[in-house]
A and B are shown apart, each in its own frame.
Chain A
Amino acid sequence: MSLLRVQDLWVRYRTRRGVVEALSGVSLSVEEGEVLGVVGESGSGKSTLGLAVIRLLPRSAEVRGSVLLNGKDLTSLPEEELRRIRGREVSMVFQDPYSSLNPVMRIGDHFVELMMEHGAAATREEALEAAGELLERLGVPRERLNDYPHQLSGGQRQRVAIGLALILKPRLVIADEITTALDALVERQIIDLVKEVKREYRTSMLFITHNMGLVAEVADRVAVLYAGKLAELGEVREVVSNPLHPYTEALLRSVPRIGGSRELRPIPGEPPDMRNPPPGCRFHPRCPLATERCRREEPPLVERGGRLVACHLRS
């Protein structure tokens, strides 16, 4: 049984200017110890997916489908039961480390609160001891426990946020664009840290990013999202070396590489307006290979060589 199984997930936001369909029937799974990369542009629904799994979408969101964690459907769990699962079985690291820690709470108190709340530590001292040990392994000096968030650098704060997501040893960590707000050097350090965590803790991860390069480095499998739908899903190595969906191909071409001889090509056009997605294949207005059929008929997600792809031309 998969650790996480997302089945036919639909998410709609009711906004003043109309209904936005952020996810349209997405199904995927994460196995024990596996890192699943989720890639897509802004507005592809990748962050919505992460928030939907841990059920933290705004109240204006309508959710259909199921999210099974260890066989338990998180979408229908009572609030109190869900609260006990959050942090302990599934946790999340957010994009901006500058705003994801409580500015008026010491770093140590974040850990104390979390561990006491979940009964993982009996005393403050015990919690601080465990937190200090973990932080040191994550490359943050133990003394930082006494500091307030604003006294730490962005990289250190993100390490702290990762520590908070790991300390209760959850089975699944959702990492939502965790390096986007950091500079290139710190990004590298955090990615190395993620790889280390993956090796050492065998934690399963939903690694959400817009950067195909990072996915290639960190993930075992990758799900490519476009306009709220899965475009392609498969082993990272295969997807990167031989992308089937034209969108995946375009994404790969838009990643810069040092010393690369390949020409850097941005994807033409804009992601569609999700209040009114295009008919047929949602990528057709930007696809260089689009045919008449792509404009009319929505391509189903089909298996092709151990991979799933939604494209009329490639299936």
Chain B
Amino acid sequence: MGLKEHVLYRLALTPLMLLVLLTLVFFLMRVLPGDPITMLEGKNIPEEVLARRRAELGLDKPLHVQYVNYLYSVFVKLDLGVTALERIPVSYLIATRLPATVDLAIAASLVAIGIGVAMGLLSARYEESWFPQFARVYSSVVYSIPVFYLGLLLQVGLARPSGLPTTGRLSPVNMVALDSLPVRTGFVLIDSLANGRLDIAADYLVHMLLPALTLGIYLSGIFTRVTYLSVSDAMVQDYTRAARARGIREWRVVTRYGFRNALIPLLTMAGLQVAALLGGAVLTETTFNWEGVGLLVYEGILKRDYAIVQGAVTVYALIVALVSLVVDVAYTLVDPRVRY
């Protein structure tokens, strides 16, 4: 099987994975008590009003009919549906929110990989010192700490003394200014820079700092661990000893022999962490009122807005599938032995 066939094969599997996921989410959401109308109006609205409004949303139909209708809409019409009350297309909502989540995910990944790789490499290089023990404790602590709690800690510990913003993506003034810019991609950084508004870009980065640190630190634990373990595993291989016997500098041995070979397990792990990244983003966005897809999902669950949650899950699933495909292709770059 060539690389192309492999990619096509993986793509062909994606709809199947999506079907399983959507089925799960569809029924899970409906197991939750309440529906969009009772969540909005409370339980004390007249019986006939409730029935009428449920009929408007199609919620009076049998569950299996709703299920088939929804799948038909997603897989055949490629339509994610509309929100329950305002009747806004879900795809539009997600499209406007996605850039914020992508920005946060990228920034958090940079933090996680930066901290994780640095601490992992230092642990492997100075194996005999106190540092690996410290890194080990650090990893366990940040990995087991709840994301929203870590967010609150940073808000209290960092934002209060420094005056960093703890909520939103931009100051209100810049929010308005952004809307009036001629070039609009939805990515604040690109938009503000393309229009020469450095001040907005800076404001955005300052707002992003705490959410990115929160999510990044949370994920950095596992990166630290995996980097350390894979590098030290490579460091006891024969080729590493042979490199030392040739008088190769120790840092070079750690990076070119240790880290370069550790990239293979590290890449696998990074691919698997995308799901954790998106899940963590939901909690981070909620904590910092960061208006991305995660916040949308959170609100969608609270409002029992089925279409929003299902739509977001579809997008999440596509992202995870895409990333794991990219990881598969990246293997061929990292490991010369891998051929599809």
Query: Which positions in A face B, CB cutoff 8 Å?
Result: 54, 56, 59, 83-88, 91-92, 94, 96, 99-105, 113-114, 117-118, 148, 150, 161, 164-165
Query: Knowing A101-B239, A102-B260 touch, does A87 contact B337 (C-beta < 8 A)?
Result: no
A156 to B243, CA, bound (A): 18
Docked-complex contact B246 and A99, CB < 8 angstroms: no
On chain A, the residues within 8 Å of B243 by CB distance are 102
Query: Knowing A102-B260, A102-B261, A103-B261 touch, does A86 contact B244 (C-beta < 8 A)?
Result: yes
A95 (CB) vs chain B CBs: closest residue = B238
Known: A99-B238, A100-B239, A150-B337. 4 other contacts (CB 8 A): A84-B247, A86-B247, A102-B257, A165-B246
On chain B, the residues within 8 Å of A164 by CB distance are 242, 246
Docked-complex contact B247 and A88, CB < 8 angstroms: yes
A88 to B245, CA, bound (A): 10
A118 to B249, CA, bound (A): 10
Q: Mark B225-240, 1 if CB is under 8 A from A, else 0.
A: 0000000000001110
Provide 21 A-B residue pairs closer than 8 Å at the C-beta atoms, listed in order of the A residue: A54-B245, A59-B128, A83-B247, A83-B249, A85-B247, A87-B245, A87-B247, A87-B248, A91-B245, A91-B246, A94-B238, A94-B245, A100-B241, A102-B261, A103-B239, A104-B261, A104-B334, A118-B247, A148-B336, A148-B337, A161-B242
Docked-complex contact A104 and B336, CB < 8 angstroms: yes
Docked-complex contact B244 and A94, CB < 8 angstroms: no
Q: Is B256 an interface residue (CB 8 A)?
A: yes
On chain A, the residues within 8 Å of B242 by CB distance are 92, 94, 100-101, 161, 164
A13 to B245, CA, bound (A): 20
- What is the total of A-B residue contacts with beta carbons within 8 Å? 77
**Interface of B, helix, strand, loop or mixed by DSSP:** helix
**Interface of A, helix, strand, loop or mixed by DSSP:** loop
Q: Is B252 an interface residue (CB 8 A)?
A: yes
On chain B, the residues within 8 Å of A148 by CB distance are 336-337
Q: Is B335 an interface residue (CB 8 A)?
A: yes
Docked-complex contact B334 and A117, CB < 8 angstroms: no
A84 to B244, CA, bound (A): 10
